[in-house]
Amino acid sequence: MKQFEDPRLAATRKAAIEAALVILKSEGVLAVTYASVSKATGISRSTLYRHWPEINDLRNDTFKRAARPENKSPEPRTNGPLKADLMWLLRFLLTALNDTPWGKIAPQIVAAAAQDDQARAVINLFMQERITSVKAVFEAAADRGELRDTVDIDQLADLAVSVLYFRKLFAGQPIDETWLAEHVDTLCELAVAQ
Amino acid sequence: MKQFEDPRLAATRKAAIEAALVILKSEGVLAVTYASVSKATGISRSTLYRHWPEINDLRNDTFKRAARPENKSPEPRTNGPLKADLMWLLRFLLTALNDTPWGKIAPQIVAAAAQDDQARAVINLFMQERITSVKAVFEAAADRGELRDTVDIDQLADLAVSVLYFRKLFAGQPIDETWLAEHVDTLCELAVAQ
DNA sequence: ATCGCTATGCAACAAGTTGTACTATAGAGG
DNA sequence: CCTCTATAGTACAACTTGTTGCATAGCGAT
């Protein structure tokens, strides 16, 4: 009877993914190969194949590792007023995109998602998590009676997050403090009771 | 003195890119290789290398070919009222993503953009073009006096387009008629004078 | 400590791709 | 007809994905 998993399995997994993450950050998805990870870790190529039969399996595990927990949304502030809470949370998302490795990693996952269902699932889950955290901010504002009663909170949360990523990854427009302030103003104008 | 370009050059270029576009649509960027295009066209691999020294050169030219003109935004309707004009244009963008090859091609360009500056330029230009067409709709509404005077038209156009692509490519949420109607309602609520 | 199981390491191999180099042929224009 | 050049064809090196076979080293159990 095997009660416990061979500790070598976990050690190999961790070392490989950790090294793959470094390569992912510095050189992109395509540089995450069996050979490069093998060289970086000393783990033999055949062992890597046994753990991850296809290269996308390894890459997707690296994506999952990258998507948590440092890069996840923090517990949002929900003390109010809405504008302050929104500014705080969206500034975190903006900083993550502009000034942390996540700004390099996210596009890599998006790229992989175009070809791979698993990668698509990773990026979808991550984005849902971002939207949910923003939604919590709006819901708290609604509980405090700050919002108009006609507003659709799901729509608002979608709007708040999507423009950030769209400008960064699709439109090539800057997302800086100046823009963020205007963006939050627009959202509040839409949401807050006059 | 050479006055005219050898017609074989243009013929080769066109045939190769046309074939590459078909492969791009059906099998993705990674399937666009010198070998696959050579096989599809009968053009020898060495000739392809002479036209496109790196494979990304060929892929980027294929992207440019894909980004025009059938997939570009049509002349937007600007007769008013705003809600009808917006609905018409955004429905076009939605249909392009859901029911035409562009829905498969766009993610491929986004994927390439994560690794390649030229591809990034292509997708950026294309998205700017989409935003501009939406902006024209808002500007016409503003000229008719339909809008509140506080609204920022650039922000509105960004919002209108970004959620579409975000939901489709990042969040994995459906973009259907039901959602579109709500989205347009939200935009109009933000923009239209009460 | 010994034994069996298994994870790992190592080497070789086939296939596909990128990119280079060289030669021969075919077509365009004067 | 002649020259220039685009194309075809081939060979080659390097890298990557996967597969396979075999030897070794470490883990858990008796």
Distances (CA, A) of B19 to B26, B55, B151, B174: 11, 14, 46, 31
Closest CA to A105 of A74, A60, A163: A60
Average pLDDT (A133-150) is: 94
Mean pLDDT of all residues in A49-65: 97
Residue A37 has pLDDT above 90, yes or no: yes
Question: Cβ–Cβ of B171/A155 closer than 8 Å?
Answer: no
Tell me if residue A127 falls in helix, strand or coil: helix
Contact state of A29 with B123 under an 8 Å Cβ cutoff = no
* Substitution target from A127, A129, A170 for chain B, most B beta carbons within 10 A: A170
Say which nucleotide is closest to residue A52, CA to C1' distance. Answer: D18
Q: What percent of chain A has pLDDT over 90?
A: 83
Does A107 lie at the interface with B, CB-CB under 8 angstroms? yes
Question: Does the pLDDT at position A1 exceed 60?
Answer: no
- Which residues of chain B register pLDDT less than 50? 1
**Residue A69: predicted pLDDT:** 65
Cβ contacts of A152-157, under 8 Å, gap ≥ 24: A152/B182, A152/B186, A155/B182, A155/B183, A155/B186, A156/A187, A156/A190, A156/A191, A156/B186, A157/A131, A157/A132
> Do the chains contact at A189 and B124, CB–CB below 8 Å?
no
For A174, phi and psi rounded to 5 degrees?
A: -70, 145
Please give the angle made by the CA atoms of B93, B98 and B99, to the nearest 5 degrees. 100
More confident residue, A98 or A76: A98
Q: Is the pLDDT of residue A24 over 80?
A: yes
Q: For A146-161, how does the pLDDT look when each residue is reduced to its tens digit (9 = 90+)?
A: 999 888 999 999 999 9
Beta bridge partners of A192: A147
pLDDT in tens, A93-120: 999 999 999 999 999 999 899 999 999 9
**Distance between the alpha carbon (CA) of A6 and the C1' atom of C6, Å:** 9
What's the predicted TM-score (pTM) here?
0.91
Looking at residue A192, what is its pLDDT? 83
Mean pLDDT, range A109-136, rounded to an integer? 94
